[in-house]
Amino acid sequence: MYEYAFNKRRLGGINMVNLSGRNFLKLLDYSEKEIRYLLDLAKDFKKKKHDGVEHRYLAGKNIVLLFEKTSTRTRCAFEVAGRDLGMGVTYLDPGSSQMGKKESIEDTAKVLGRMYDGIEYRGFGQDIVEDLAKNAGVPVWNGLTNEFHPTQMLADLMTVEENFGYLKGINFVFMGDGRNNVGNSLMVACAKMGVNFTCVGPKDLWPKQELIDTCREIAKESGSKLNFTTDVKEGTMGAHVIYTDVWVSMGEPDSVWEARINLLKDYQVNEEVMRNANDDAIFLHCLPSFHDLKTEIGKNIYDKFGLKEMEVCDSVFASDKSKVFDQAENRMHTIKAVMYATLKDKDE
């Protein structure tokens, strides 16, 4: 116990941030200092995990994971992080709960809040996770909505920092569907942390003007520059990070594939793009990714449209510049930081 108390005091350094009892719904709700604290905490947890130092700091607590969309990384990250922290973990998918079909989100939240200490939600509208949080009475964490993917952002920032040693002044480029949950969230994350953000893609797929305006205000304080361009060469020149995501997101109908491919086929991350970026540039992707024909959807798209690779070519995905598996691992350390910070006692 003594060792736990000692280790806990050291977590996250001497930062005076206290997030106990808070929800984690979108990065817009968090200050630069609070995000910094979560990143430092995640770094501590990563070291503990790699050194084999036990950290069951939340033993006796229980969490529930609600998934209305599929997942590999987010679900496993929450499960492993929860267990490492000593908690009981329940996983509920739409097929095995009453949520939505027979019971409203509000009633579900009220029930789960009586039994669990924290709730993760992955699903559709951001309004759903906000509604859950209003009614649950315990911290709610957003594991991806149509609009935002905030836990992904912490892993992405952590991976950038591991590679370059700093965040402020990094030139971060997102290529592709800039107004999906990942594109939106990256713009917010970069604006908050003083990272320069460039969205490279067709105008129709840039983030909504209202969110751009909000981020421009935030960027004034952090010193981040936000750029939007349709020109791949201009947009990727001088980049430290090239990031992309799938062209069609979960929840979108299959009928959008053709139009989306036509819009985005010139925005694939390929060798030429990486050559145009800085010599030490890295490639990131939240995953899963269509970079070969080893997936069912990948094969279908090849049969219909003749594309062997989509948002990133296989040679970039498999290159030394690609840090996508470090990034995936970091989902677990950062999610652990979020759960620990929001579930720990206020005076710890």
Catalytic machinery residues: 122, 149, 152, 245, 286, 331
Q: Of the candidates 23, 97, 146, 152, which one interacts with ligand CP according to CB under 6 A?
A: 152
**Residue in this structure with the two tokens 């509208």, named with its chain if needed:** 125
CB nearer to ligand CP: give 74 or 171: 74
Distance CA 33, CA 192 (A): 9
Q: Is 249 in the site for ligand CP (CB under 6 A)?
A: no
Minimum separation from the CB atom of position 33 to ligand CP (A) = 26
**Residues 6+ away with beta carbon under 8 Å from 285:** 243, 244, 245, 311, 312, 317, 322, 324, 327
Minimum separation from the CB atom of position 296 to ligand NVA (A) = 15
Q: Between residue 66 and residue 85, which ones bind ligand NVA under the rule CB under 6 A?
A: none
DSSP lists the bridge partners of residue 244 as 175, 285
DSSP lists the bridge partners of residue 284 as 243
Q: Of the candidates 151, 196, 249, 322, which one interacts with ligand NVA according to CB under 6 A?
A: 249
CB nearer to ligand CP: give 71 or 224: 71
Give which of ligand CP, ligand NVA, none residue 246 binds (C-beta under 5 to 8 Å, depending on kind): ligand NVA
**Residue in this structure with the two tokens 């030429």, named with its chain if needed:** 272
Minimum separation from the CB atom of position 2 to ligand NVA (A) = 41
Site map 263..302 versus ligand CP, x via CB under 6 A: -----------------------xxx--------------
- Closest to 34 measured CA to CA, from 46, 44, 48, 24: 24
Q: Of the candidates 27, 85, 138, 144, which one interacts with ligand CP according to CB under 6 A?
A: 144
Distance CA 284, CA 157 (A): 11
CB nearer to ligand NVA: give 40 or 245: 245
Q: Of the candidates 245, 269, 277, 336, which one interacts with ligand NVA according to CB under 6 A?
A: 245
Q: Between residue 55 and residue 94, which ones bind ligand CP under the rule CB under 6 A?
A: 71-74
Q: Of the candidates 142, 181, 196, 334, which one interacts with ligand NVA according to CB under 6 A?
A: 181
DSSP lists the bridge partners of residue 92 as 66
Give which of ligand CP, ligand NVA, none residue 72 binds (C-beta under 5 to 8 Å, depending on kind): ligand CP
**Contact between residue 90 and residue 116 where contact means Cβ atoms under 8 Å apart:** yes
Minimum separation from the CB atom of position 64 to ligand CP (A) = 17
Please identify, among the stretches 37-45, 212-220, 242-250, 295-303, the one whose residues bind ligand NVA according to the rule CB under 6 A.
242-250
Give which of ligand CP, ligand NVA, none residue 156 binds (C-beta under 5 to 8 Å, depending on kind): none
Which residue pairs from 312-316 have beta carbons closer than 8 angstroms and sit at least 24 positions apart in sequence?
312/244, 312/268, 312/269, 312/270, 312/283, 312/285, 313/268, 313/269, 313/270, 313/271, 315/270, 315/271, 316/269, 316/270, 316/271, 316/273, 316/274, 316/283, 316/291
CB nearer to ligand NVA: give 37 or 121: 121
Q: What ranges make up the beta strands (E) of the chain?
A: 62-67, 88-92, 118-122, 140-142, 171-175, 196-200, 226-229, 241-244, 282-285
Give which of ligand CP, ligand NVA, none residue 196 binds (C-beta under 5 to 8 Å, depending on kind): none
Q: How many CB atoms lie within 10 A of CB 187?
A: 31
Q: Counting every residue, how long is the chain?
A: 348
Q: Is 180 in the site for ligand NVA (CB under 6 A)?
A: yes
Give which of ligand CP, ligand NVA, none residue 46 binds (C-beta under 5 to 8 Å, depending on kind): none
Give which of ligand CP, ligand NVA, none residue 28 binds (C-beta under 5 to 8 Å, depending on kind): none
Minimum separation from the CB atom of position 36 to ligand CP (A) = 22
Buried (b) or exposed (e) across 30-55, using 16+ Cβ within 10 A? Answer: bebebbbbbbbbbbbbbebbeeeeeb
What does the DSSP assignment read for 80-105? HHHHHTT-EEEEE-GGGS-BTTTB-H
Residues in contact with ligand NVA by the rule CB under 6 A: 144, 180-182, 245-246, 249-250, 286
